[in-house]
Structure 1
């Protein structure tokens, strides 16, 4: 394949088309590993710190690890970044979804994750619900 890429580059350069664009970097192989910490959810079984590992097989002590890994895989397939914060200046409904907070740290799709979640307004509630069941189902 490398030889074909080199030949294609030479051919396009010789034809005056210029070099090929760079190839996108692929996420390194290996499982996604996340630590999910939940507090003040109102559900004692949901609060705590849970490990989640997604790869060939779901692992860790996360209470919904299989479904959580499936959700993360669907988000990756849709090219969504569920850990991205709400953009500054984003208008959000002033709806309070309760005191629940969460922090997710680790590695997802080969990159470092350190994201905080709350249910402080409509935008934050939507972020939280987009990541269910990685984050527990909580209704304020």
Structure 2
């Protein structure tokens, strides 16, 4: 139980945004119940479980992914939804999971560009490009990916599940 005690102790230290913060009395008082021995009702969620309009996925993820294996190749168009996983992406569930994983690693935005001024290795990863447009978790997405240097290769590899397997293309 040391982890629970630590969690409760840290909860009391939360800063509420004022210059001076006082510990909450809430944790030290027993839960109130209207009937002796009855369980305390679960707290009501402040956010609805279904988005306004009643449709699951209305504010979710709906992406169009266009991949080109070279500048002159025909585009490969795919779609991806993540609530529930679907579309014609090769493995929608894996692609959706990779978006969440990369978002967690990049501070919430899996599509974040390489920061300006970032030093990148001058390694050419191939002529492949991809454009991603649509919405991710209700946020507008309109970005491109390439493989022209180490930073761009990393961005590509992080979200490779969106683009599908790379065809072997000559680089000469």
Q: With structure 1 as the length reference, what TM-score do the two structures score?
A: 0.69
Structure with max Cα Rg? 2
**1:59, distance to aligned residue in structure 2 (A):** 1.0
Does residue 36 of the first structure (1) align with residue 65 of the second (2)? yes
4+ residue runs over 4 A deviation:
15-18
- 1:117 deviates by 0.3
Q: Which has the higher contact order (CA 8 A, sep 6+)?
A: 1
Alignment partner of 1:133: what SS?
A: helix
CA contact (8 A) 1:129 1:137 kept: no
Partner of 2:85, secondary structure, is: coil
Look up the match of 2:133. 105
Aligned pairs for 1:107-122 (under 5 A) are 107-122=135-150
Residue 79 of structure 2 corresponds to residue 66 of structure 1: no
**Alpha carbons 2:89, 2:164 under 8 Å: kept:** no
1:1-140 to 2 correspondence within 5 Å?
Answer: 29=51, 30=57, 31-40=60-69, 48-55=76-83, 57-78=84-105, 79-138=107-166
Q: Pick closer, same or farther for the CA change 1:16–1:73 going to 2, 3 Å.
A: closer
Report how many residues are paired. 116
CA RMSD of aligned residues (A): 3.0
More strand by share: 1
**1:137 CA drift (Å):** 4.1
- Runs (5+) with no aligned partner, structure 2: 1-15, 22-49, 52-56
Gaps of 5+ in 1: 1-11, 19-27
Q: C-alpha distance in 1, partners of 2:123/2:165?
A: 17
**Counterpart-to-counterpart distance in 2, 1:125 and 1:52:** 22
Q: Distance in 1 between matches of 2:103 and 2:124?
A: 29
